[in-house]
Amino acid sequence: MSNYSERLGQIREDPKLIARLGALLVLAISMLLWWQAGKWYAARLLTEKRIEIREDVSLRGNALSAAINRRFALVDGLHAFVQAVAASGDPMAHFDTFASELHASTPGIRSIALAPGGVVQLIYPLEGNEAVIGYNPAEDARPIVHGDVERAIESREIILSGPVELIQGGVGLIARQAVFLEGSYWGLVNIVFDLPPILSRADLDSQSNEFQYALRDSFGNIMWGRKSIFESDPVVDRIELPENFWDLAAVPQGGWDRAIRRELIIFQTAAFIIVALITTLTYLTISHQSRLTLAVEARTHEIAQSKLLLESRVEERTKELSALLEVAQTVGSTLEIKPLLGLIISQLKRVIAYSGAAIATIEGDNLVILDYQGPEPREKVVGLRLPLDQPSGYQEVFHSHEIVIYADLWHQTLRPMEADLDERDSSIHFRYARSWMGVPLIVKGNMIGILRIDHVRPDYFSEQDAKLVQAFANQAAVAIENARLYEQAQILASLKERHRLARDLHDSVSQALYGINLGVQTARTLLERYPDNPEALQEPLDYLISLSDAALTEMRALIFELRPETLEKEGLVAVLTKQAKAIQTRHKIDVSTSFIEEPMISIEAKEALYRVAQEAINNTIKHAHATELGISLEIDEDWLVLEVRDNGRGFNPEVEYPGHFGLISMRERLEHYSGRLEITSAQGQNTLIRASLPV
């Protein structure tokens, strides 16, 4: 007992021993915390990495789905071809012509085949596919093949098989669809695709150094990639098919542990250093408590600041991504090219601060600046043409298709700016700019322009800024391309309407004016011949009056079709009445009408009914070959009902007619106002179109 007391007294009298014991206790606790912190940070890194991979896999899955749907559209087209041609003749006679166009439209098509009764009789191209002639897939010994044929016949949907070994050799995907004519089974249409072009659409055939991918079908068969990827806790994007699905999986190169190893080692090293420092500080604090108290407090404050800085960076990153998403949605909200350019530049400030920014598009060997915001006068910048055949930052971006950053233009040998412009433009050198960034605008692999950003401070732009701006630029490039396509579509629609109006004027008003001219010449001849007999002018003058009335009626009908503002001023009934008179005058069709008093519905609903009537009447004139047309408007219980009927040759409303969207347009207009469309017709019979809106 005395020895124990003596030993305890020695420990109390030895500050270094007490300091060692205290340091060991702190070290044990700190190492436990270090281990827990490492687990927490590893989980956080894995979550962030999975989010990153999920975005990439989703984009590639969308591209893969689009490629598959494009090929399904070809099968639908072949199916429609067989139905259309078989109803009016022999599909075999036109098969090669139609199949050659399908074959040339999409890369990777191995063969296109028709199998009446389930047996392949026609195939394109024949060369290399001779072995398939006479092949009956329903009798194939492989369960997956004849099972898919049975499902195609039962479901009447497109069934995708494969990859499977092909009769003609090799491996491919087979898309099949059963053809039924008037309810009876006719046979199969088949298209064989190669898988690599589909994978290439999603850029899966050129794997990056960062991720590795694999693809499997709904039965668990690996179609591409390694099976081990699906066993490594991958991020999976499901691609829905008509009867099944594909799973696209991705994991980091080398696995999840390797993907976060570097960041985790850095974190663990930093944390271990902190543990070592805390332990050392504890030792020093115990042995030199009075001298090191302030130092411990300062170090503790420094650690707290580091934590706050880390949290601030995480929060800043989250805000950047949220802002990028909101900006992308805003930029995609307009299809007008001029306001879109200004919107892109203004929204860019939500992603990165800048002193000046400009959008330039590629025209031949030059860049043309379309919009600009910054210290320079906008009118002096917009329209500038910058040559791409001269060494510059623009040329570097153009050739590399990558972001180029200059830290300080004032000390840069190769200036990316407009310093070599003509003397008349010498005032526009963007002398205020120190930092400069050139960002390519790329759509589907093609560069359409360059986004130029500068700042008055040198060395302002970072790699993180470049990543954010590139993501924004990708969205902006798509929006610009969509706006261009929309503008082209508007121009084409305008030209089409002009051509139609010119044709109608030539067929109606021009003929009437020509008749009036002849009538005037006849009247003048009669006047010269019979100057004392004014009654001789009666008949040609009456003829002139009738022609002028017809021309006036026709002109009003054409103007009304272009600008139906009478709908709001005079009402639906008046508009339909004028439309009926115009149709009767222009097309010599017997038109009968039966209308109630003006209905009390919104002007938008009235316009929807008018457009439905206009579409139905146009279909009658173009396709029905009718001699009688009836238009009525009535109330049936709680519904306002518009009926358009004719005595034409009719059609099958259950069949889809590719390229004709009139019926779809009518249904969409009515469904917008909770209405409905009913069509009663058949080949060789009259047609009744009944459009109803709730009152």
Retrieve residue 680's tokens: 């009663």
CB count in 10 Å sphere of residue 621: 17
Amino acid identity of residue 569, one-letter, is K
pLDDT digit string, tens, across residues 362-400 = 888 888 888 888 888 888 888 888 888 888 888 888 888
Retrieve residue 521's tokens: 């010449």
Q: What is the pLDDT of residue 652?
A: 81
Q: What is the pLDDT of residue 642?
A: 93
Q: For tokens 């700190």, what's the residue?
A: 30
Q: How confident is the model at residue 543 (pLDDT cuts 50, 70, 90)?
A: low
Indicate whether 303 pLDDT > 50: yes
Same domain assignment for residues 160 and 278: yes
Pairing of strands 222-224, 211-217: antiparallel
Q: What is the pLDDT of residue 553?
A: 64
Q: How confident is the model at residue 425 (pLDDT cuts 50, 70, 90)?
A: very low
Same domain assignment for residues 246 and 376: no
Q: Among 28-32, 84-88, 598-602, which stretch is predicted with the lowest mean pLDDT?
A: 84-88
Judge contact between 648 and 678, C-beta under 8 A. no
Q: How confident is the model at residue 427 (pLDDT cuts 50, 70, 90)?
A: very low
Q: What is the pLDDT of residue 285?
A: 82
pLDDT digit string, tens, across residues 200-256 = 887 876 656 678 888 888 888 888 888 888 888 899 998 888 778 888 888 888 888
**Residue 384 to residue 428: CA distance in whole angstroms:** 10
Which tops the pLDDT comparison, 330 or 129? 129
Looking at the domain assignment, is residue 303 inside a domain?
A: no
Same domain assignment for residues 163 and 245: yes
Last residue of a domain, one of 282, 312, 330: 282
Q: What is the pLDDT of residue 191?
A: 92
Q: What is the CATH number of the domain that holds 39?
A: 3.30.450.20
Q: Among 542-546, 592-596, 681-685, which stretch is predicted with the lowest mean pLDDT?
A: 542-546
Q: How confident is the model at residue 108 (pLDDT cuts 50, 70, 90)?
A: confident
Q: What is the pLDDT of residue 192?
A: 92
Retrieve residue 164's tokens: 């499977």
Q: What is the pLDDT of residue 616?
A: 87
Looking at the domain assignment, is residue 472 inside a domain?
A: no
Q: What is the CATH number of the domain that holds 641?
A: 3.30.565.10
Q: What is the pLDDT of residue 544?
A: 67
Which tops the pLDDT comparison, 32 or 426? 32
**Residue 407 to residue 409: CA distance in whole angstroms:** 7
Looking at the domain assignment, is residue 469 inside a domain?
A: no
Same domain assignment for residues 67 and 200: yes
Q: For tokens 């589909």, what's the residue?
A: 198
**Residue 627 to residue 621: CA distance in whole angstroms:** 9
CA torsion, ordered 308, 312, 318, 322, to nearest 10 deg: 140
Same domain assignment for residues 373 and 256: no
Q: How confident is the model at residue 640 (pLDDT cuts 50, 70, 90)?
A: very high
Q: What is the pLDDT of residue 644?
A: 93
Indicate whether 11 pLDDT > 60: no
- Look up the domain containing 415 and give its range: 353-460
Amino acid identity of residue 195, one-letter, is L
Retrieve residue 284's tokens: 């020093």
Same domain assignment for residues 261 and 362: no
Kindly state the average pLDDT of the residues 258-263: 82
Kindly state the average pLDDT of the residues 2-15: 55
Kindly state the average pLDDT of the residues 670-693: 87
Same domain assignment for residues 361 and 272: no
Looking at the domain assignment, is residue 8 inside a domain?
A: no
Most confident region among 435-439, 539-543, 549-553, 666-670 by mean pLDDT: 435-439
Judge contact between 255 and 244, C-beta under 8 A. no
Q: What is the CATH number of the domain that holds 398?
A: 3.30.450.40
Beta bridge partners of residue 151, listed in sequence order = none
Retrieve residue 75's tokens: 């099968």
Q: Which residues of 219-252 are buried (b: 16+ CB within 10 A; e: fewer)?
A: eeebbbbeeebbebebbbbebebeeeebbbbbbb
Return the SS3 of 512: helix
Kindly state the average pLDDT of the residues 5-27: 69
Kindly state the average pLDDT of the residues 174-189: 89
Looking at the domain assignment, is residue 437 inside a domain?
A: yes
Most confident region among 319-323, 428-432, 667-671 by mean pLDDT: 667-671
**Residue 179 to residue 566: CA distance in whole angstroms:** 49
**Residue 180 to residue 177: CA distance in whole angstroms:** 10
Q: Among 158-172, 314-328, 670-684, which stretch is predicted with the lowest mean pLDDT?
A: 314-328
Kindly state the average pLDDT of the residues 37-55: 87
Looking at the domain assignment, is residue 151 inside a domain?
A: yes
Looking at the domain assignment, is residue 683 inside a domain?
A: yes
Same domain assignment for residues 24 and 132: yes
Judge contact between 77 and 658, C-beta under 8 A. yes
Say what percent of the chain tops pLDDT 90: 7
Q: How confident is the model at residue 170 (pLDDT cuts 50, 70, 90)?
A: confident
pLDDT digit string, tens, across residues 123-158 = 998 888 888 898 888 888 888 888 888 888 888 888
Same domain assignment for residues 271 and 362: no
Pairing of strands 590-595, 628-636: parallel
Cα 248 from chain centre:
20
Kindly state the average pLDDT of the residues 77-105: 81
Kindly state the average pLDDT of the residues 523-545: 70
How many folded domains does the chain comprise?
3
Kindly state the average pLDDT of the residues 470-481: 80
Q: What is the pLDDT of residue 233?
A: 87
Q: What is the pLDDT of residue 624?
A: 81
Q: Which residues contact 648 (CB under 8 A, 6 or more apart)?
A: 620, 623, 624, 625, 626, 686, 687
Same domain assignment for residues 456 and 595: no
Q: What is the pLDDT of residue 61?
A: 86
Q: Among 290-299, 306-315, 388-397, which stretch is predicted with the lowest mean pLDDT?
A: 290-299
Last residue of a domain, one of 229, 254, 282: 282
Q: Among 46-60, 527-541, 620-634, which stretch is predicted with the lowest mean pLDDT?
A: 527-541
Q: What is the pLDDT of residue 297?
A: 62
Indicate whether 328 pLDDT > 50: yes
Indicate whether 324 pLDDT > 60: no
pLDDT averaged over every residue in the chain: 79
Kindly state the average pLDDT of the residues 579-601: 84
Same domain assignment for residues 112 and 240: yes
Amino acid identity of residue 321, one-letter, is L
In the 8-state DSSP scheme, what is residue 349?
Answer: T
Looking at the domain assignment, is residue 166 inside a domain?
A: yes
pLDDT digit string, tens, across residues 196-206 = 888 888 787 66
Last residue of a domain, one of 403, 427, 460: 460
Q: What is the pLDDT of residue 294?
A: 43
pLDDT digit string, tens, across residues 495-508 = 565 655 555 555 55
Same domain assignment for residues 219 and 360: no
Max Cα-Cα span within the chain? 163
